[in-house]
Amino acid sequence: MSSDSPTRPICSSPSVTRSDSIAPRRPLRASERGPRSPCGARSVVSRDVNAEHGFGRRGFLAGAGAVAAGLPFVGRTPANAVPVAADIAKLPFPTERSLRILITGDAGTGNRNQWAVAEAMREQHRRAPFALALGLGDNIYERGPNGADDPQFREKFENPNAGLDFPWLMALGNHDNSSVVPGDGGWLLRGNDEVEYHARSARWWMPSRYYSVAIPARQPVVEFFVLDVNPLAAYLPPIFSPYWSPDGQFMNEQRAWLDAALDASAATWKIACTHHPYLNNGPHGNAGRYEGIDIAPLNGVHAQRFFEDHVLGRTHLLLSGHDHSLQVLEPTPATRGTRQIVSGAAAKTVAAEPKINPTGTNPALFENYHQLGFMVMDLTPDRIDLAVHTVDPTGGPAVEAFARRLA
């Protein structure tokens, strides 16, 4: 299960810790101003108090004005994927056909919980090396990054994951696209900053907002389809931006791309990776009734339709985060053979959110709503084995709470 032989993957791309109180503001020094945005405004890199809380008010207002004026602000898609900087050597993808894969989600807090889970993952890696990792969104809490140079990438990704030196296939989550309220998903252009970070990190793999990677490059045993359903599941829907609307250009292009990529895939196993789940027994609920809401589009009905029309019955697994829990659900008639797995407890748990409780009734092999943890998948051309590891944030090794051959 080693990954010593370097190769480039097949990709679908065509080409301060501080108090929560608000301190008095002072004028920004020149060194604290970021590069100019396409509409002429500067993004704040370090000192802006709102930016330190993830708001990025200047960038948000400037961008919102540009959208209102009809300027072409678009998502980073495979058609305009981010090239890697010449001085960055991306960590190689494996060439073996037996793969050990780390699955983690909702990790990017930089807090002691994330560090405890990361240390447990390092211990597993020392025992049996991972070939790659899947990061299922909410990579930068609470409001996402403010530019690709934001120190949050170091504090909430690079530093906690030191020593886990293999490619991390990253998906975008609602917190990565925040606008006014943390996690509202209402400023989708913010997610482009995480795509831009692909050019600056050896580990972080996100060349576009959605993409696929087949491993190994020749005769692939698996192809991962990393998808972006944030426009369909935002708590603050993009009602004033036709480009991001459910039937707008971004989602239509993603639908066409996914259909073609799935049809063309020669991989033994096809695995979809998203932040938002289709089925979920935790408090966020199933697509179509997210948060127990019946009002469209807040209930995620457009995400439900996307999954049903383009993912279910066409992939073996659907891996998601969003809910701060660990769930291995059973396939149902609605999923047409696709198994939903939720791994979103790498830094937070449902038990730490006492105002909400698990409510779903989807059949499950395993569920855990009160412990931190991650999952490990062993893949060969003949089988898929999955293990769930729970973590005590006060220390000690991870505990294998579940292990099963899924296929």
Structural domain boundaries in the chain: 10-14+74-405
Per residue in 30-58, pLDDT (tens digit) is 333 333 333 333 333 333 333 334 444 44
Per residue in 184-210, pLDDT (tens digit) is 999 999 999 999 999 999 999 999 999
pLDDT of residue 352: 64
* Confidence band for 70, pLDDT divided at 50, 70 and 90: very low
Once rounded to an integer, what is the mean pLDDT over residues 217-231?
97
Residue tagged 């748990």 (tokens): 349
Higher pLDDT among residues 325 and 35, named by residue: 325
What is the C-alpha to C-alpha distance for residues 215 and 7, in angstroms, rounded to an integer? 10
* Confidence band for 85, pLDDT divided at 50, 70 and 90: confident
List Cβ neighbours of 309 (8 Å cut-off, separation of 6 or more).
255
Q: Name the percent of the chain lying above pLDDT 70.
A: 80
344: pLDDT strictly greater than 80:
yes
pLDDT of residue 164: 99
Q: Which two tokens stand for residue 370?
A: 């009160």
Once rounded to an integer, what is the mean pLDDT over residues 75-101?
94
For residues 44 and 32, the answer to whether their CB atoms sit within 8 Å is yes
* Confidence band for 12, pLDDT divided at 50, 70 and 90: very low
Residue tagged 């006060």 (tokens): 394
CB atoms inside a 10 Å sphere around CB 259: 13
List Cβ neighbours of 162 (8 Å cut-off, separation of 6 or more).
none
151 class by beta-carbon count within 10 Å (0-12 exposed, 13-18 middle, 19+ buried): middle
For residues 117 and 346, the answer to whether their CB atoms sit within 8 Å is yes
What is the C-alpha to C-alpha distance for residues 368 and 385, in angstroms, rounded to an integer? 19
Three-state secondary-structure class, residue 407: coil
Q: Which amino acid is at 334?
A: A
The length of the chain, given as a count of residues: 407
List Cβ neighbours of 109 (8 Å cut-off, separation of 6 or more).
141, 156, 347, 348
For residues 393 and 115, the answer to whether their CB atoms sit within 8 Å is no
pLDDT of residue 41: 35
Once rounded to an integer, what is the mean pLDDT over residues 77-83?
93
CATH top class, domain 10-14+74-405: alpha beta
pLDDT of residue 38: 33
Three-state secondary-structure class, residue 76: coil
| Residue 366 parent element (H or E) | strand 364-368
pLDDT of residue 73: 65
pLDDT of residue 396: 84
Look at residues 10, 8, 7, 3 and name the one whose alpha carbon lies nearest to residue 212.
Answer: 10
